[in-house]
Structure 1
Amino acid sequence: MKRGLRYDFDLLALLLIPVGVALNFVGYQLSAALKLPVWIDQVGTCFVSMIAGPWVGMVMALLGNIINGMLIPTAIPFALVAMTNALFVGLFSRFKFFSNIFTTIIACAVVNVATAIPSAIVTTFVFGGVTGSGSDLITAAFLAAGKVLLWSTIQANLVGGTFSVAFNFTIAWLLVRRLPDRFLIKLNYGRPYIKNREALAYA
């Protein structure tokens, strides 16, 4: 099965985009309304990127942040973070990093670091370090310890991001595991998640 930017945007992948956007929308609104220190707005991004690939995931992430930004404008600049998340999750899925617990932990750790940096840059230089979310409390704690603003936001994102990535990925993985094999086998990146391995012999 061919993969890549030219081949990933088939009909099934396109149909997954609104599903991912909806999942992200619900998670983002809950996180913002409850001011949670952990963001649960990347379930859809992880879900789509795992089975449709990084490019479809990045488009979905961008659209999701634009839609969230219609209600909460601060979401739009963080599209860069969501797209980074989609890129790394999609690439790790392509190379079957989510096939066992050890490589899954490595992948999630890399995703956490990769998304913490652009998130900190956006938070610091676009919003002055304050976004009105629960993570501001973590940033304030590092500032009180004498850290500079950028480094404080990076550390805050690494701390909060550890739980965010774990939560978002776990929910997405559970959703993927609920998909039937006959659907997964039709997706460019769905085969690693097929439960009945004998089905691959007839694909």
Structure 2
Amino acid sequence: MNMSKRSSVQRQCLAALGAVLNVITAFVAMTLRLPIYLDSTGTVLISSLLGPKYGIVTGVLGSILSGLTFDIYSFYFAPVQILTALTASLVMHSHWGKGFQLVISGLAVALPTALVSAVITAFVFGGQTSSGSSYLVAFLHNLGLELTVSCFVVQILTEYLDKLVAMLLARLVLKKGVLKKYGTL
């Protein structure tokens, strides 16, 4: 097997492992009814390591696997995974993907994904999904906020925390593990 073909196979395997990481962490979050999703941990990691193309494959594959195994709602959020891969790749490959700026740059990933997630949650599911954040949407809606506004408020909070956790984990893995041992792929 020539070197470029071997490298391509390695990248595809890493993307598949990232998808499995998405499924496992999403399953844990759903089982524990956490208000964050943890469904994009692998997407952010692979986007950071290999770029947006492999990040998109990771995210969409993770959505499909989750949808087939335990969370039918995840199919509908595949566009959020695509957006996560694109924005996380940009942020993590810039100087904003390091140190304290990572906390701030989490907003650059969270804002667009929150907007898309809020629209999907409000218009496709009426504010109720399998996530623990649905309780927060219902609470805000019962306080008198319009459903779409309730979804967006909850999504911006939960997406920010979710993406920040994913970005911090990706940074840790890259800094302490993969890049230290192997350098760039």
TM-score by length of 1: 0.81
Can you list the C-alpha shifts for 1:48-101, whole angstroms capped at 9, x where unaligned? 000101111011100110011102211100111111111100122233321332
Please list, as runs of the form range in 1=range in 2, the aligned pairs for 1:57-68 lying within 5 A after superposition: 57-68=55-66
Q: Which amino acid in structure 2 is aligned with residue 138 of structure 1?
A: L
Work out the CA distance in 1 between the residues paired with 2:133 and 2:161.
12
Q: Aligned-pair distance for 1:28?
A: 1.0
Please list, as runs of the form range in 1=range in 2, the aligned pairs for 1:107-186 lying within 5 A after superposition: 107-177=105-175, 178-181=177-180, 183-185=182-184
Can you list the C-alpha shifts for 1:92-123, whole angstroms capped at 9, x where unaligned? 22333213322x22321111111101111111
Alignment partner, residue 42 of structure 2:
44
Judging by fraction of residues, say which structure has more helix. Answer: 2
The aligned length equals 177
SS of match in other structure, 2:138: helix
Can you list the C-alpha shifts for 1:12-69, whole angstroms capped at 9, x where unaligned? 3222111101110101111122211111121101110001011110111001100111
Question: Is contact 1:25-1:64 (8 Å) kept?
Answer: yes
Question: Is contact 1:53-1:93 (8 Å) kept?
Answer: no
Alignment partner, residue 13 of structure 1:
11
Q: Aligned-pair distance for 1:182?
A: 5.2
SS of match in other structure, 1:25: helix
Q: Aligned-pair distance for 1:144?
A: 2.3
Alignment partner, residue 86 of structure 2:
87
Alignment partner, residue 73 of structure 1:
72
Work out the CA distance in 2 between the residues paired with 1:74 and 1:131.
7
Can you list the C-alpha shifts for 1:113-141, whole angstroms capped at 9, x where unaligned? 11101111111111111013210121122
Q: Mark the runs of 5 or more structure 2 residues left unpaired by the alignment.
A: 1-6
Work out the CA distance in 1 between the residues paired with 2:155 and 2:29.
15
Question: Is contact 1:43-1:171 (8 Å) kept?
Answer: yes
Consecutive aligned runs of 4 or more in structure 1 exceeding 3 Å deviation: 9-12
Question: Is contact 1:51-1:184 (8 Å) kept?
Answer: no
Q: Mark the runs of 5 or more structure 1 residues left unpaired by the alignment.
A: 1-8, 188-203
Alignment partner, residue 199 of structure 1:
none
> Identity across aligned pairs (percent)?
27
Work out the CA distance in 2 between the residues paired with 1:132 and 1:11.
34
- Bigger radius of gyration among the two: 1
SS of match in other structure, 1:129: coil
Q: Which amino acid in structure 1 is aligned with residue 154 of structure 2?
A: A
Can you list the C-alpha shifts for 1:168-199, whole angstroms capped at 9, x where unaligned? 221222111211435232x2xxxxxxxxxxxx
